[in-house]
Structure 1
Amino acid sequence: MKNIVALLTVFILFMTQSASAELYDPDEVQVYIVPMIDFPEPAAAQLSKILSDDMKIWVKSSVRLGDLEAATLPGTRQLSGDSIIEKSYPIVTKLPGSSKNTMYVLLTTRDINSETGAFRFQFSMHHSEMRVSVVSMARMIEFIDGKPVVNHLVLNRLYKMCKRAIGEQYFGWKRSTDINDIMYSPIMGMPDLDRIGIHHKENDDENEVEPVDKNRISI
């Protein structure tokens, strides 16, 4: 895990060293990118700048959270995404500039899953009422000769999942059956994640897909 964190920090800083977000000065932070204890702060900061530039809102990164002591799912090393969201909520909502409209995206390198066990894993989980999402890059990592590699493809996967979360939770974007839309659903694995586009086609009612549960949404 330490190797992945180190690779992520070095690569994202190299790739985005010239990235600079436009200055947004609304009355409140619109979206917080919150790295968990295992996720590097510099990578979260650079990601927030890129998302700000792309989505034209104030996406701000925070310092790392302390250890949430989130529950581990029985018989696995996967963290409960439900537990992460519930334990982080009273903490992230106290971040400076937060309001009832602020949305929070937590980042982790750990594997996550739902307590329902309906899937083998989840790239991300969301709670619409709390306005909190957690994105895991554990399954996004490339392995070459048995060693973890963080490259442009891996970072593109992370970026897509964060943008999807913000689109759905903050902007209210609907899910789509168009594979070229970033809101394509369902994403059942890495091939789907790599195929989807990076933009959302708004006002395309024919492709809208409602989530099964309005509060707890799968990938």
Structure 2
Amino acid sequence: MKNIVALLTVFILFMTQSASAELYDPDEVQVYIVPMIDFPEPAAAQLSKILSDDMKIWVKSSVRLGDLEAATLPGTRQLSGDSVIEKSYPIVTRLPGSSKNTVYVLLTTRDINSETGAFRFQFSMHHSEMRVSVVSMARMIEFADGKPVVNHLVLNRLYKMCKRAIGEQYFGWKRSTDINDIMYSPIMGMPDLDRIGIHHKENDDENEVEPVDKNRISI
């Protein structure tokens, strides 16, 4: 895990060292990128700048969360995404500039899953009423000769999942059946994640897919 964190920090800083978000200064922070205790702060900060530039809203990063002591699923090392969201909510909503409209996207290198156990893993989980999402990099990492590799492909996967979370939670983007849309659903594995586009086709009502549960949304 430490190797992954170190690789992520170095690579994302190198690739985005020239990134500089436009100055957004609304009355409130629109989106917070919140690194969990295992995720590097510099990487979260650079990611927030890129998302700000792309989505034209104020996406701000915070310092790392303390240990949430979130539950793990029985017989696994997977974090309960439900537990992460519930335990982080009273903490992230105290961040400076937060309001009832602020969206929070938590980042972790740990594997996550739903307590329902309906899937083997999840890239991300969301709670619409709390406006909190958690995105996991665990299944996005590439390996070469048994060692973790963080490259353009890995960062693109992370970026897509963060943009999806913000699109759904902040802008109200709907799920789509168009594989070229970033909101394509369902994403059942890495091939789907790599295939989807990075933009959303707005106002395409024919392709909208409503989530099964309006509060707890899977990938």
User: Structure 1-normalised TM-score?
Assistant: 1.00
Equivalences for residues 18-57 of structure 1 within 5 A: 18-57=18-57
Q: Shift of residue 19 of structure 1?
A: 0.3
SS at match of 1:48: helix
Q: Residues of 2 paired with 1:93 and 1:218: CA distance?
A: 22
Unaligned runs of 5+ in 1: none
1:82-134 CA-to-partner distances (Å, cap 9, x unmatched) read 00000000000000000000000000000000000000000000000000000
Q: Residues of 2 paired with 1:213 and 1:25: CA distance?
A: 34
Runs of 4+ in structure 1 deviating by more than 2 angstroms, as ranges, are: none
Q: Residues of 1 paired with 2:218 and 2:95: CA distance?
A: 26
Q: Residues of 1 paired with 2:25 and 2:213: CA distance?
A: 34
Q: Shift of residue 70 of structure 1?
A: 0.2
Q: Residues of 2 paired with 1:57 and 1:51: CA distance?
A: 8
SS at match of 2:33: strand
SS at match of 1:163: helix
1:174-198 CA-to-partner distances (Å, cap 9, x unmatched) read 0000000000000000000000000
Q: Shift of residue 207 of structure 1?
A: 0.1
Q: Shift of residue 37 of structure 1?
A: 0.1
Q: Residues of 2 paired with 1:148 and 1:25: CA distance?
A: 38
Q: Residues of 2 paired with 1:22 and 1:180: CA distance?
A: 28
Aligned residues: 219
Q: Shift of residue 217 of structure 1?
A: 0.3
1:15-65 CA-to-partner distances (Å, cap 9, x unmatched) read 000000000000000000000000000000000000000000000000000
SS at match of 1:7: helix
Q: Shift of residue 153 of structure 1?
A: 0.2
Q: Residues of 2 paired with 1:75 and 1:66: CA distance?
A: 24
Q: Residues of 1 paired with 2:128 and 2:174: CA distance?
A: 13
SS at match of 1:37: coil
SS at match of 1:117: coil
Q: Residues of 2 paired with 1:144 and 1:205: CA distance?
A: 42
Q: Residues of 1 paired with 2:16 and 2:106: CA distance?
A: 20
Unaligned runs of 5+ in 2: none
Q: Residues of 2 paired with 1:42 and 1:144: CA distance?
A: 25
